[in-house]
Structure 1
Amino acid sequence: MVLRRRRGGCQERVSSARRGKWLPVLGVGLLLVGAVGCAVGGPRGQEAISACDAPGVAPDEIRIGLMYSDTGTSSTAFGMARAGVDARIGLANEEGGVHGRKVVYEWRDDQMSLDVSKRAVADLVENVGVSGLVTSSFLAGASASYLEDRKVPVTGLYVDSKVSVGGRKFTAVDLVATMADAWSQYIQKFHSKRVLVVVSDGLSPASSFGDYLRQALSGAGIATIGTEVYASAVGSPDQVAQRAVALNADAVIFLSDPEVSVDVMRSLRRMGAPVKVALSFWGYDGNLVQTDQAAMAGLSVMLYHAPLEAGGPAVERYKNAMARYAPYAGRVEQEIAVRAYIETDRLITALTAAGQCPTSQKVNSALDGIVNYAAGGLLRPVTVDPATGAFQQCYAFVRVNDRAAYFDIVDNQICGRAAAVR
């Protein structure tokens, strides 16, 4: 058993899982406790730091976790998550950390496997003992019940189940519905009426979004004339393009890996398909555009954050952080990096608000208390339509330029309504 000083007493048992992690950090402190008995000295803030018994918290650092898809089917969409986390943590530590503690993190790759994902999350929670978890994977929802049962603070894709606006709670389903409605509004801008949907095999969340999307399109008088499930190993972009031509599709929606979108766009252009608009779930990737601009020209992408092309203080802060702490990412137009940066920011904001001793309960309360979160200006706050009371979220849409390797802002604000998709 390892003993440690605590407020109001001399000894405290440290669990075996946490003992292995923090013993080197606590060694000097334990020797001092033995030398001076139960004396508690120093400023009150330092006393609180030393006495804190919370997961992932040591006197001089606070440890969070990242679970993302680095390998496996469709992992390329999430490969830049670490860049966003590195950038935001680097910025936090540059500004003094969390109440003087340096922020560090450990990551796990779920390999796009449900079993691996569950084990990775359990390892970060039970063996590493993190203060909170950032997720960037389609499979994160597989551990939602586990994380909720253990009251682990978590941010990220497919785990957050509620958003608070004006004292009202809205679910992840509401968020998906607003996105589908915004997509249908964007398709309408091009007067398209016949949509072919391309879905990567194995992406069940994308398929679920497709169900909402079909409802939204139908409500806008737009027909979904077919769905192509694209198997990366054996799929043929020419076959998808031929189907689009045969069905006389005037719009194509990609719920697929970025590479699939690029390959199919190349085939559509070569075959002269009469497509007015192509819209992709993924593709805001400056490195990919730099490599395949000719194929990607005209491809539209929805962003839930501010387009970096719009500029402004929040964008410059992000760009500078990426340049200093994640230069390996290449061009900064990386949607997943931006998302991971934002979700890490939200967790750090909650850890800071939780005070000198950020217990799981305090951090969760802080997360719940973050209302109309805007990530310093990278996000538009979620709102309630004052006229209808409907939950709404606004999105931006960008399109790959026809002549150069960059994105043009097509519409900086299309607000989707949850009530439009039921």
Structure 2
Amino acid sequence: MAPPFRAGVDARLGVANAAGGVHGRKVTYAARDDQSASAVNFTSARELLTTDQVFGMIEASAEASGSSAFLHDSGIPVVGIAMDPTWASNDNMFSFTNIMAKNSTVSVWGDFVATQGGRRALILKRTASAASNILATKFASSLQAAGVGVVGNSEISPLMLVPAVLGEEIKAIKADTIIFAMDTESAYRIVAAARLAGAEIRVALVPPDGYDPRALHDWGSAISGTFSYVPITPFEVSAPVYRGFFNAMASYAPQLKPPNQAYAVEGWIAADMYLRGLAIAGTCPTRAGFISGLRSVQAYDAEGLLPTSLNISTSVGEIIPCLHFVQVAPDGTHFTQVTPTPLCGRRLATDD
């Protein structure tokens, strides 16, 4: 798992263990890096079960499908960030970030682009990435449902990317919106190049990991006005729970600088959800008890860190309908919250 995500996990478990653990037992973990490879994801999961004898999994991988069938058939509870559709089709997998599910999407992205004046959208996705291709399809359906035209749905290889050339192409097709189903670093390079080429971009929408103070340091005003959609409550909201989060990060994950990184919050929430499942499973927990117990929760908001309350009992196969949107300030030094409350879309059927 990425360092910010792991730091969030460490902080949440640190708080729990300092308070006596779960039913008097401290919670520890073993970790593996699947190197973003499906085969390694499978062998890593198998090693964690057979060698480390873990009870369950906290996962943040784009290759979760590598082990999902194995973990489902083995009855292993899995909590984490949903980066591919497998999270929506397995009842042992729990996520608060699911934006990909078979045969459905939500209107929230298209609704947002339309309210910002976007009319001609170019979707850019990573070449040879099934997850990126699926997400791009969801974006297209969402945009079209909001009356936003899709003028292109193109594959990009980060290794072969020539931003200046792509910037000129974006200008030529008169796209006023770019929505990215690919890595944020490439997205910011493309946004900067399109602007230098003179493209009139109303909406540039990058993935949640674009909401990162390190990006402001690296890019500054070159990415001013860029939007990110985020499945968490923004730091700009005065949420009391963030006081506890920052105190915990300082105590149990001081190495992460700065601590106000969305991925760290997602790690915290994943660990919190895992702890919730353990607590429900009781003093002598079983994996089946964890899964059925956590699956019975009808209202979960991570003490205000999620945009809206999540009904875990009905979340299998569903995309989260509500997101926050943040924007890079004109001077590129900070983020601003676009709306005071999360934007919630309607669910849409898709043919995929």
**Normalization by structure 1: what TM-score?**
0.74
Q: Work out whether residues 395 and 413 of structure 1, in 8 Å CA contact, stay in contact via their aligned partners in 2.
A: yes
315, 320, 324: which one aligns with 1:396? 324
Match of residue 180 from structure 2 = 254
Q: Distance in 1 between matches of 2:141 and 2:47?
A: 39
Is it true that 1:362 corresponds to 2:286 in the alignment? no
The answer to whether the Cα contact below 8 Å between 2:121 and 2:151 also exists between their aligned partners in 1 is yes
**Residue 416 of structure 1 corresponds to which residue in structure 2?**
345
What is the rounded CA distance, in whole Å, between the counterparts of 1:85 and 1:184 in structure 2? 33
2:127 aligned with 1:218? no
- 1:43-101 per-residue CA deviation (whole Å, 9 max, x = no partner) reads xxxxxxxxxxxxxxxxxxxxxxxxx3xxxxxxxxx452211111111111122111222
Secondary structure at the counterpart of residue 110 of structure 1: coil
- In 2, are the aligned partners of 1:195 and 1:225 still within 8 Å (CA)? yes
Cα distance change on mapping 1:245 and 1:391 into 2, 3 Å: closer
Corresponding residue number in structure 2 for 1:147: 71
Q: In the superposition, relative to structure 1, how do residues 184 and 219 fare at CA in structure 2: closer, same or farther (>3 Å)? A: same
Conservation of the 8 A alpha-carbon contact between 1:383 and 1:393: no
The CA deviation string for residues 223-273 of structure 1, in whole angstroms up to 9 with x for no partner, is 111123221222111122111101000001111112112211221221221
> Which amino acid letter does the alignment assign opposite residue 161 of structure 2?
G
Larger Rg: 1
Matched, 1:346 2:273: yes
Aligned residue among 118, 130, 137 for 2:54:
130
Residue among 11, 16, 22 paired with 1:98: 22
Q: Per-residue displacement from partner, 1:322-364 (whole Å, max 9, x unpaired)?
A: 2222222212332222112111110111111211111112111
Distance 1:309 1:420, change over 3 A: farther
Secondary structure class of the residue paired with 1:327: coil
Q: 2:115 aligns with which of 174, 180, 189?
A: 189
Question: What RMSD, in angstroms, separates the aligned Cα atoms of the two structures?
Answer: 2.4
Distance 1:268 1:400, change over 3 A: same
Is the CA contact (8 Å cut-off) linking 2:99 and 2:319 kept in structure 1?
Answer: no
Q: How does 1:100-115 map to 2 (within 5 A)?
A: 100-115=24-39
Question: Distance in 1 between the 2:102 and 2:260 partners?
Answer: 23
Counterpart of 2:261, as a letter, is Q
**Post-superposition shift, 1:420?**
6.1
Does the 8 Å contact 2:107/2:348 carry over to 1?
Answer: no
C-alpha distance in 2 between matches for 1:172 and 1:267: 28
For structure 2, the 5+ residue unaligned runs are 92-97, 313-317
Write the letter of the residue equivalent to 1:207: N
1:120 to 44, 48, 58: 44
Change (3 A) 1:341 1:203: farther
**Deviation at residue 299 of structure 1 after TM alignment:** 1.1
**Percent of aligned pairs sharing the same letter:** 30
The structure whose RCO (Cα within 8 Å, separation 6+) is larger is 2
Structure 1: 5+ residue stretches without partners:
1-67, 69-77, 165-170, 385-389
TM-score by length of 2: 0.88
Find out whether 1:336 has 2:260 as its counterpart: no
CA distance in structure 1 between the partners assigned to 2:219 and 2:102 by the alignment: 31
The CA deviation at 1:175 is 9.4
Partner of 2:94: none
Secondary structure at 2:30 match in 1: strand
Q: Corresponding residue for 1:302? A: 229
Alpha-carbon distance in structure 1 between the residues aligned to 2:188 and 2:13: 32
